[in-house]
Structure 1
Amino acid sequence: MREELLHYIWRYRHFNQQGLVTEDGRPLHIVFPGQPNTDQGPDFRAARLRIGEVTFVGPVELHIRSSDWLRHGHTGDAHYREVILHVVWENDTPGPPADIPILVLHDRVSKPLLGRYEHWMRQTGFVPCERQLPALTADAWRDWTRKLTLRRLQRRAVIVGSWLDQNRQDWEETTWWMMARSMGLPVNAAVFEAVARSLPLRLLKRHRLYASTLEALLLGQAGLLQAGHGLHREYEFWRSKYGLQPIRLPVSFLRMRPGHSPVTRLVQLAALQKEGKGWFGIIREATSAEVAVGALAGPKGLGIGMRRGIVINAFVPLLFAYGQKEKALAWLEELPGEQNHVIRSWAASGVVAGDAAASQGMLELKKEYCNARRCLDCAIGRALLNIAA
């Protein structure tokens, strides 16, 4: 038994409630188990219980063992003075600590529920509940992934807001940073972002008519130019003129095809700046996701998948942060689902992303819930445990 599972069992009453009695023999009826308490003090607050003939309202504390009350130092702690019930998995004390009634749940919980959760915690596959996924309805899956997509966008909007604070609310500069980071995904995102931050837009605009200069600046800042090469000499000239400092983050070439190498991507990024467009203005004015994708078609070799990726990972979060939330969500629903190893693994488990809104939710689910084994915080995990209960 894990304490987070015990909390879940109590909160959603996944135990046999017939004939409940406290350890001292008094009948117990749960009117309301209480609200989870995220602050200091007992685990649940404002529970409503009838013990014997008396109705109590107050906090409830949960532990794996009743002796944990003493072990955690709750005796004498003012935060726990009003506790009306101590819920435990097993009672290992001769008498109730602090004279608080004890309820033991050990023999009242479904064995399939316990077995399923334990299996998930030990599972080493793609996601803990992989084998149970076929039991889900399409509606349940769609509702949860859409909520996660919103959470993902909200989280990214916070990042956009922090970047705006760093560059004096300059949306074009922030767009430049976002585009660069997106071009570096998945392994060089931080490097590309650092390159963009080291080269302000006002500097690049001075040289936008000269492709070689833009390429030299970007590649040089990333440390990807060889001494003696023409671009290297040009970079050293501008580095001296503007006092540029190359970034220190290492660029990764691990398992990359030539078309996806960081050198190719930085050259393409330079080409996007050579267009001389105000990219944030383009984002605001574009009437659809495909219009935005088409606006990125200039650089040689920048395929449709990569252009859609820039829209999904840079343009959509910017729109959302700017307040055009409906437009941002509509763009995700317009674009097809992304294709990467996580989305392909979901598909192998029987879950297919019909659009980019779904794939974004699936990426959020894998990263924030499955990898962290937060099954009890996940609507999918709870639904599958409900089936087992």
Structure 2
Amino acid sequence: MLSVNPLCSEALLQYIWLSGLFDPFNLATVTGEPVVILSPGQLNRDGGPDFTAARLRIAGLEWAGNVELHYRTSDWRRHGHQHNPKYHNVILHVVFEHDLPARPAPGKGPSRKTSRRTPPEMPGPPPIPVLELQHRIPKMLLRRYHHLMEQAAFVPCAPLLHRVPEEIWESWKPRLIEERFARKTELYRNWLEQTRFNWEEVCTRAMAQSYGMPVNTAAFMELVQSIPFMLLARTRLYRHRLEALLFGQAGMLETAFQDDYPKTLQTEYRFLQHKYNLQPMPPYRWQWLRMRPASFPSLRIAHFAAVLHATPHFFSRLLDTESQHALEKLLHAEPDPYWQFHYRFDIPSVRTAGPGKHILHHLMINTVAPLLYLYGKHMRLPGYQQRASDLLAALPAENNHIIRGWADEKIPANTAKDSQSLLQLKQYYCDRKRCLECKVGRNLLSGGAED
């Protein structure tokens, strides 16, 4: 018999039971009672039995109730279910391996009477017949699952991906995109409650988060949350004052400067700091090492300030801007000319790169599209959710190590919608080996039966 890891087996058994991937003919309990599955029930992800609302015919009688699954029969007592009232309505105990002694035949064994549905090894309620599946599950399915769990490749099913039909991918991607949007907007929902549903403030935080990716996200969030939003809203009308406020709160105006531009910002910030009792961030919160100069936090703050200044009511404009080209124009704003030849204060350089299209696309993918999706969902205006999806479909795919890894496995991403779905798949399914919850994994496990 193939050895299966018990730590993974109960999840696999749940999938097998729900999908009916076992021989259903002449089913019988370990004591010989015929079993007919009328309905396997509904998978229960909360506490209690694995499946609820199951309907079975056992020994000619129809039962409705819960089903519990274990790798071995003895796991029932090992998990303490015999003492838990939640398991008193279990009508069938489904196991991979029945490892308890057989019941005594009628007329033999202890003279104490027991209920037909109460095995001697499990005294008291609930009465539980046991169904063993070990010899009814295709060995190929077990081998495939074992192989997936043991794989150390880019994704567990990498050697088998060529077998997955295109229609499986196409039917799986919309669900992945929905999950991606839900994950990204969960934080935005919290911000909405914190700000009493001030969409402009939430939008500002979301933009700051994107400008900080990947290594300065937390620092950017600390920066915008250190400034009262009403002060930021008033200040954004004046470019130098806004730059002074952001750089000052970032802790980047705390040294003596040679250039006139940072000196001016420093003077302006001292006034704002005294007037509004502001406390700057510690400079060590910012990461500078092992990154390209175009990603330095100083240049990112300059670009962030430029966008805030150019479009004061950014979220309102965002809702009214539909085309990709118009969104790019909205997000493209040149910072102060000082930053054309500097990446950091007092350190001149050759001409710096402006906010290239990759930065604009990054903002549209990670800020604009999720905000549109959340607004449409919250306001029950599905048109905005569709705009979010259409925007991802119109943008080119992202270029990062995960997307390049998928490309190496002959799974290309042509649009941002493709790359976002593949990122969700890799990070939240493949890396966690949730193959039984993945449409691709289920298709491979079932030999192509997954629809």
TM-score by length of 1: 0.92
**77 and 359 in structure 1: CA distance in 2 versus 1, 3 angstrom threshold:** same
**126 and 237 in structure 1: CA distance in 2 versus 1, 3 angstrom threshold:** farther
Residue 89 (1) aligns with residue 123 (2): no
Q: Secondary structure at the match of 2:66?
A: strand
CA distance in 1, matches of 2:162, 2:184: 31
- Residue matched to 1:349: 409
- Residue matched to 1:43: 50
Note if contact 1:227-1:233 (Cα within 8 Å) is conserved in structure 2: no
**120 and 233 in structure 1: CA distance in 2 versus 1, 3 angstrom threshold:** farther
Note if contact 2:239-2:309 (Cα within 8 Å) is conserved in structure 1: yes
- Select 1:187's aligned residue among 196, 199, 215: 215
The amino acid across from 1:280 in the alignment is: F
Q: Secondary structure at the match of 2:224?
A: helix
Q: Secondary structure at the match of 2:285?
A: coil
- Residue matched to 1:163: 191
The amino acid across from 1:171 in the alignment is: W
Note if contact 1:112-1:388 (Cα within 8 Å) is conserved in structure 2: no
- Residue matched to 2:419: 359
Over the residues paired in the alignment, what is the CA RMSD in angstroms? Answer: 2.2
CA distance in 1, matches of 2:332, 2:446: 49
- Select 1:257's aligned residue among 292, 314, 337: 292
Residue 80 (1) aligns with residue 83 (2): no
- Residue matched to 1:26: 33
- Residue matched to 2:389: 329
CA distance in 1, matches of 2:82, 2:229: 62
The amino acid across from 1:25 in the alignment is: G
**372 and 352 in structure 1: CA distance in 2 versus 1, 3 angstrom threshold:** same
Could you tell me the percent identity over the aligned residues? 43
Deviation at 1:72? 1.8
CA distance in 2, matches of 1:315, 1:355: 16
- Residue matched to 2:400: 340
- Select 1:375's aligned residue among 422, 425, 435: 435
- Residue matched to 2:349: none
The amino acid across from 2:306 in the alignment is: A
- Residue matched to 2:301: 266
CA distance in 2, matches of 1:353, 1:165: 35
Note if contact 1:42-1:83 (Cα within 8 Å) is conserved in structure 2: yes
- Select 2:277's aligned residue among 240, 243, 246: 243
The amino acid across from 2:304 in the alignment is: L
Note if contact 1:181-1:192 (Cα within 8 Å) is conserved in structure 2: yes
Unaligned runs of 5+ in 1: none
CA distance in 1, matches of 2:287, 2:171: 37
Higher relative contact order (CA 8 A, sep 6+): 1
Residue 318 (1) aligns with residue 359 (2): no
Note if contact 1:113-1:388 (Cα within 8 Å) is conserved in structure 2: no
Higher Cα Rg, which structure: 2
Greater alpha carbon shift after TM alignment, 312-321 vs 195-204: 195-204
- Residue matched to 2:153: 125
Note if contact 1:337-1:355 (Cα within 8 Å) is conserved in structure 2: yes
Greater alpha carbon shift after TM alignment, 224-233 vs 66-75: 224-233
Per-residue CA shift, 1:260-295, capped at 9, x if unaligned? 122211111111122143211221111212210122
Per-residue CA shift, 1:234-265, capped at 9, x if unaligned? 43443233222223572222421111122211
The amino acid across from 1:44 in the alignment is: F
Q: Secondary structure at the match of 1:387?
A: coil
Deviation at 1:201? 4.5
**247 and 383 in structure 1: CA distance in 2 versus 1, 3 angstrom threshold:** farther
Deviation at 1:209? 5.9
**227 and 72 in structure 1: CA distance in 2 versus 1, 3 angstrom threshold:** same
Unaligned runs of 5+ in 2: 1-5, 104-118, 258-262, 336-353, 377-383
- Residue matched to 1:151: 179
CA distance in 2, matches of 1:211, 1:278: 15
CA distance in 2, matches of 1:388, 1:284: 43
Note if contact 2:203-2:315 (Cα within 8 Å) is conserved in structure 1: yes
- Residue matched to 1:59: 66
CA distance in 1, matches of 2:436, 2:329: 42
User: How many corresponding residue pairs?
Assistant: 389
- Residue matched to 1:68: 75
- Residue matched to 1:285: 320
Q: Secondary structure at the match of 1:41?
A: coil
Deviation at 1:370? 1.8
Greater alpha carbon shift after TM alignment, 291-300 vs 3-12: 291-300
**240 and 149 in structure 1: CA distance in 2 versus 1, 3 angstrom threshold:** same
CA distance in 2, matches of 1:204, 1:93: 70
Q: Secondary structure at the match of 2:446?
A: helix
Q: Secondary structure at the match of 2:355?
A: coil
**136 and 290 in structure 1: CA distance in 2 versus 1, 3 angstrom threshold:** farther
Deviation at 1:197? 1.9
Note if contact 1:9-1:15 (Cα within 8 Å) is conserved in structure 2: yes
Residue 299 (1) aligns with residue 334 (2): yes
Q: Secondary structure at the match of 1:293?
A: helix
Deviation at 1:340? 1.8
Note if contact 2:43-2:50 (Cα within 8 Å) is conserved in structure 1: yes
Note if contact 2:233-2:312 (Cα within 8 Å) is conserved in structure 1: no
Greater alpha carbon shift after TM alignment, 311-320 vs 232-241: 232-241
CA distance in 1, matches of 2:311, 2:93: 67
| 1:166-245 equivalence runs, <5 A | 166-208=194-236, 211-225=239-253, 227-229=255-257, 230=263, 231-232=265-266, 234-245=268-279
**225 and 143 in structure 1: CA distance in 2 versus 1, 3 angstrom threshold:** farther
Deviation at 1:156? 3.2
Deviation at 1:24? 0.8
Note if contact 1:87-1:104 (Cα within 8 Å) is conserved in structure 2: yes
